[in-house]
Structure 1
Amino acid sequence: MPNWDDLRVFLAVARAQSLSGAGRGLKMDPATVGRRIQRLEEDVNAVLFTKSPQGYNLTADGEQFLVRTEQAEQAITLATEESRDERGKLSGTVRIGATDGCANFLLPKVVTEICDRNPGLDVQIVVQPRVVNLNKREADMAIAVSPPETGRLTVQKITDYKLHLAASRRYLKLNPEIETLEDLKGHKIVGYIPDMIFDKELNYAAATGVDEPEFASNSVAVQLNFLRQNAGVGVLHDFIWPYAPNLRRILPDTFELTRSFFLVRHADDRRVERLTRFAGELVEGLRAEVARLEAHQT
Structure 2
Amino acid sequence: MKDWDDMRIFLSVARAESLSGAAKVLRVDPATVSRRIARLEAEADAVLFVKSPQGYVPTEAGARLIAHAEAAERAMEAAREDLQGRAEGLTGTIRLGAPDGCATYLLPVVTARIVRANPGLDIQVVALPRVFNLSRREADMAIGVSRPTAGRLRIQKIADYTLSLAASHDYLRDCPPIRTRADLREHPIVGYIPDMIFDSELDYLAEAGLSHVDFASNSVPVQIAWLRAGAGVGVIHDFALPDAPGLDRVLPEDFRLTRAFWLIRHADDARVARLNRFAEALTEEMRAEIAERARA
Sort the TM-score into its range (normalised by shorter chain): over 0.9
**How far, CA to CA, are the matches of 1:216 and 1:2 in structure 2?**
53
Per-residue deviation, 1:205: 2.2
Contact 1:2 1:44 in 2 (8 A): no
Change (3 A) 1:274 1:86: closer
**How far, CA to CA, are the matches of 1:166 and 1:5 in structure 2?**
53
> What's the TM-score, normalizing by structure 2?
0.98
**How far, CA to CA, are the matches of 1:259 and 1:76 in structure 2?**
37
1:266 alignment counterpart: 266
Aligned residues: 296
Q: Extract unaligned runs of 5+ from structure 1.
A: none
1:38 alignment counterpart: 38
**How far, CA to CA, are the matches of 2:30 and 2:219 in structure 1?**
32
Q: What residue identity is the alignment partner of 2:101?
A: G
Q: Report % sequence identity.
A: 57
Per-residue deviation, 1:95: 0.5
Q: Indicate whether 1:236 and 2:244 are aligned.
A: no
Query: Pairwise CA RMSD of aligned residues?
Result: 0.9
Q: Indicate whether 1:141 and 2:107 are aligned.
A: no
Q: What residue identity is the alignment partner of 1:46?
A: A
1:277 alignment counterpart: 277
Q: Extract unaligned runs of 5+ from structure 2.
A: none
Which 10-residue stretch deviates more, 14-23 or 78-87? Answer: 78-87
| Structure 2 residue matching 1:83: 3-state secondary structure | helix
Q: What residue identity is the alignment partner of 1:239?
A: F
Change (3 A) 1:228 1:86: closer
Aligned 1:123-272 pairs, distance under 5 A: 123-272=123-272
| Structure 2 residue matching 1:286: 3-state secondary structure | helix
User: CA-to-partner distance for each residue in 1:201-229, whole Å, 9 max, x for gaps?
Assistant: 00112111111211111111110000011
Q: What residue identity is the alignment partner of 1:235?
A: V
**How far, CA to CA, are the matches of 1:42 and 1:110 in structure 2?**
47
2:48 alignment counterpart: 48
2:101 alignment counterpart: 101
Contact 1:2 1:40 in 2 (8 A): no
1:20 alignment counterpart: 20
Per-residue deviation, 1:86: 5.2
1:91 alignment counterpart: 91
User: CA-to-partner distance for each residue in 1:236-257, whole Å, 9 max, x for gaps?
Assistant: 0100111112010000001010
| Structure 1 residue matching 2:235: 3-state secondary structure | strand
> What's the TM-score, normalizing by structure 1?
0.97
Q: Indicate whether 1:65 and 2:75 are aligned.
A: no
**How far, CA to CA, are the matches of 1:103 and 1:243 in structure 2?**
13
Contact 2:165 2:233 in 1 (8 A): yes
**How far, CA to CA, are the matches of 1:142 and 1:236 in structure 2?**
22
Q: Indicate whether 1:76 and 2:76 are aligned.
A: yes
Moved over 6 A (4+): none
